[in-house]
């Protein structure tokens, strides 16, 4: 029996791992499971009527998000919005019973609900204030109080089910995916530095020519920043996070370094454009020396974390930059601006090297 169970267990683990590697598919499966569970179990809720069980599925649906922390936050916000909307609608019911025209009551309830829905602390729940007010006023029939209890209680039950499913069934953790995206940003930065080095060697540094590479760095930076933020969010309230503490810290340090490198890469391109025509200060040989230094720095930036050759790449980049620095002409009255720009390039490249040192 143990021999027959082992392959099944391994197969289940393998399937779960493959499912976890497809975040959208995993979210879809978990949302479907949570909705079905909430729908079937909702009749067990005290003081709630069975005919409103579908609100349990609704609660599970609205609370399922890619991370456990976001599911809990959105679930709480939705409940606050529903409670506030129900309270408004019950005030409207009282007004109707007092003889106030229905159109006036509906308009006031919806208007006030939309205003209150703008409160920042409600977050996503702000959209539910007016919906809850409208449902209770129009769908409660002759028992608005009973409908309100069933509505709020069943949705709350569905939210609890959704959070539980998200927490217990392969809780999503996007730390590894964030690390892969950080590597894409590293590659984009490397491509930009390589293009800048090639353009400088040809004596044809053009901001428009480097614009696509710069735009690629900016585009990937935005995506990576969001991925790292989501990875940090996925680790909150996640029992799997304890096994990935080092990866989380590494991703944070890499993101900080990459943001610094992106800024320095933009600055480097601007400086290269300024200095490309400064032949008296730099000269054709100086441009070639600088192009080699940029290429070596690019090679250092391209080194993966833990690369055994990273130290040799660091040494090569430092030597190439020392050679460039030695060739910078001392400023005189006619060459001050050009030499200052050349020295600024040296400083910019050294700052890029410094940003990579923690990972060597």
In this predicted structure, the answer to whether residue 39 has a pLDDT above a threshold of 60 is yes
User: pLDDT value at position 246?
Assistant: 65
CB contact at 8 A, 353 and 300: yes
User: pLDDT value at position 14?
Assistant: 60
Where is pLDDT greater, at 38 or 339? 38
In this predicted structure, the answer to whether residue 334 has a pLDDT above a threshold of 50 is no
- Helical spans, DSSP H, in the chain: 2-20, 23-41, 54-63, 68-97, 102-116, 126-139, 144-168, 175-202, 207-235, 245-275, 283-301, 310-326, 336-356
Give the end-to-end CA distance of the chain in Å, rounded to a whole number: 50
User: pLDDT value at position 87?
Assistant: 92
At residue 150 the predicted structure's pLDDT band, cuts being 50, 70 and 90, is: confident
pLDDT in tens, 240-292: 666 666 677 777 788 888 889 999 999 998 888 877 655 445 666 778 888 99
User: pLDDT value at position 335?
Assistant: 45
> What is the residue-wise DSSP string for 256-322?
HHHHHHHHHHHHHHHHHHHHTT-TTTTHHHHHHHHHHHHHHHHHHHTPPTT-TTHHHHHHHHHHHHH
Burial profile 85-95: b = 16 or more Cβ within 10 angstroms, e = fewer: bbbbbbebbeb
User: pLDDT value at position 336?
Assistant: 47
In this predicted structure, the answer to whether residue 237 has a pLDDT above a threshold of 70 is no
User: pLDDT value at position 238?
Assistant: 66
In this predicted structure, the answer to whether residue 102 has a pLDDT above a threshold of 50 is yes
Cα torsion 303, 306, 309, 311: sign: positive
The residue-averaged pLDDT of 104-119 equals 90
pLDDT in tens, 78-95: 999 999 999 999 998 888
User: pLDDT value at position 61?
Assistant: 92
User: pLDDT value at position 333?
Assistant: 41
The residue-averaged pLDDT of 30-49 equals 86
Q: What is the percent of the chain with per-residue pLDDT over 70, rounded to a whole number?
A: 84
Whether this prediction's pTM lies above 0.75 is answered by no
Per the prediction, the chain carries an average pLDDT of: 82
At residue 162 the predicted structure's pLDDT band, cuts being 50, 70 and 90, is: very high
């Amino acid at each position: 029996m143990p021999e027959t169970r082992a392959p099944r267990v391994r197969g289940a683990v393998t399937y779960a791992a493959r499912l976890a590697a497809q975040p959208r598919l995993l979210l879809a499966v978990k949302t479907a499971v949570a909705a079905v569970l909430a729908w079937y179990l909702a009749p067990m809720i005290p003081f709630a009527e069975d005919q409103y069980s579908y609100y349990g599925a609704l609660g599970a649906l609205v609370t399922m998000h890619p991370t456990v922390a976001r599911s809990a936050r959105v679930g709480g916000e939705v409940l606050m919005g529903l409670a506030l909307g129900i309270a408004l609608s019950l005030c409207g019911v009282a007004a109707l019973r007092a003889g106030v025209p229905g159109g006036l009551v509906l308009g006031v309830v919806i208007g006030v609900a939309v205003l209150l829905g703008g409160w920042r602390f409600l977050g996503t729940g702000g959209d539910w204030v007016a919906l809850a007010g409208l449902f209770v006023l129009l769908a409660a029939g002759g028992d608005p109080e009973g409908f309100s209890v069933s509505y709020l209680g069943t949705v709350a039950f569905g939210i609890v089910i959704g959070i539980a499913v998200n927490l217990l069934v392969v809780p999503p953790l996007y730390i590894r995916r964030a690390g892969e995206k950080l590597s894409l940003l590293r590659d984009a930065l490397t491509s930009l530095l390589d293009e800048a080095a090639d353009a400088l060697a040809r004596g044809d540094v053009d901001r428009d020519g480097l614009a696509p590479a710069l735009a690629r760095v900016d585009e990937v930076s935005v995506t990576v920043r969001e991925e790292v933020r989501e990875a940090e969010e996925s680790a909150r309230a996640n029992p799997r996070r304890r096994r990935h503490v080092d990866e989380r810290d590494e991703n944070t340090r890499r993101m900080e370094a990459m943001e610094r490198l992106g800024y320095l890469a933009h600055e480097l391109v601007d400086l290269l454009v300024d200095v490309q025509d400064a032949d008296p200060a730099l000269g054709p040989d100086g441009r070639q020396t600088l192009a080699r230094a940029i290429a070596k720095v690019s090679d250092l930036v391209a080194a993966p974390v833990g690369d055994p050759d990273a130290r040799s790449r660091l040494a090569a980049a430092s030597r190439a930059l020392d050679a460039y620095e030695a060739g910078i002409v001392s400023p005189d009255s006619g060459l001050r601006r050009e030499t200052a720009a050349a020295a600024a390039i040296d400083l910019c490249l050294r700052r890029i090297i410094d940003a990579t040192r923690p990972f060597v």
